[in-house]
Amino acid sequence: MNGTVRDALLPENQRRTLEELTGDLDLNHGDVHAKRTAFWTMLTLSAVIASAGVLADSTATVIGAMIIAPLSTPIMGIALSLVKREANGGFRFALLGGTTVIAVGVLFALVLPGTYDLVGNSQIAGRTSPGVLDLVAAVATGLAGAVALARRDVAAVLPGVAISISLVPPLAVVGICAGQGSFLLAVGALLLFLSNLLALVLSGTLVFAMLGYGPDGATAARPTRRARITVGALLLLIALPLVGNTVASYALTLWEARVQSAAGDWVEDTPGATITSVDNVSTTFYIHVRSPADLPPVEELMTDIEGVVPDGFRVVVVSSRGEELASRTVGE
């Protein structure tokens, strides 16, 4: 069975040798000086691009940083080292590289005003609240990346794999948020990075072992069982808060929709009144109402919301009048 799967994933005529794979993923193998200077140069530049792109809220710029970021090399090198059962320094480069990116993010945070709205930035908000779907995508990306590395004919998909896995951007967000003193947001972004890292290592370990890159060329699970169990346990540990965060996000979305519905019923008899938005911040729901006329008593809304959301949540109604105070053409 293992041979059949291996032949399907990696035809013999397209298989890269273990020496070739080691040369790509081991920064302590071959021309060490050239590899390391390229790694640190590209990592630093990708950290700068990612930090700038995050603060500019530019998806295109962040994608550019993800394409050139070399951080996946030592991480997949960790997977290969676990299969080969020999150290290659991948963990050290991943740790030092991650620290470097965070430091660059902190430096960018120093130029931000203290009133900068971190949560209002979609590039930051999207990376500080990871969920289980992020983990699923990371595992699938790791599988695709490991297969692409092992085959000569699909190397062209590697840029797409680099875009799919988020490594440098969440680390830049960690630095930016920590530099602004928002440590809870920083922890959320760090959790996203760690889940992606472990997913890559686990996926890479499984694929490389199955494809026969172990010390004796065997595809059996025995040579790497302990390593895979360890990585799997760590991944499960990371997955628990991701699952919890996913459930919490779903519940908040559901409660937000219920509050929106109750607020809509509350103003439906007021001419011109509309609910412009319902926003959730921590344990508070902000209901933004726009109305040219007087609104019904707020107590009616609060009564309707009782039982819609759990006890302990706070509801704040923010009203603005949509009145036309003056009209004049400039210059007349």
Q: pTM of this prediction? A: 0.77
| Strand, helix or coil for residue 15 | strand
331 — pLDDT class (breaks 50, 70, 90): very low
286 — pLDDT class (breaks 50, 70, 90): confident
Unique residue bearing structure tokens 């412009």: 276
Q: How far, in Å, CA of 77 to CA of 68, rounded?
A: 17
Burial class (CB in 10 A: 0-12, 13-18, 19+), 94: buried
How would you label 77-92 residue by residue, b for 16+ Cβ within 10 Å and e otherwise?
Answer: bbbbbbbbeeebbbee
126 — pLDDT class (breaks 50, 70, 90): confident
| Half-sphere exposure (Cβ direction) of 204: Cα atoms closer than 13 Å | 30
219 — pLDDT class (breaks 50, 70, 90): very low
Question: Poorest-confidence range of 25-29, 151-155, 166-170, 244-248?
Answer: 151-155
Q: Given a cut of 70, is residue 323 above it in pLDDT?
A: no
Catalogue all structural domains in the chain, each as residue range(s) with its CATH number.
Answer: 2-220 (no CATH), 251-320 (3.30.300)
175 against 157, higher pLDDT: 175
Unique residue bearing structure tokens 């991480």: 75
Give the pLDDT score at 45. Answer: 95
Q: Given a cut of 60, is residue 218 above it in pLDDT?
A: no
Query: Position 300: which residue type?
Result: E
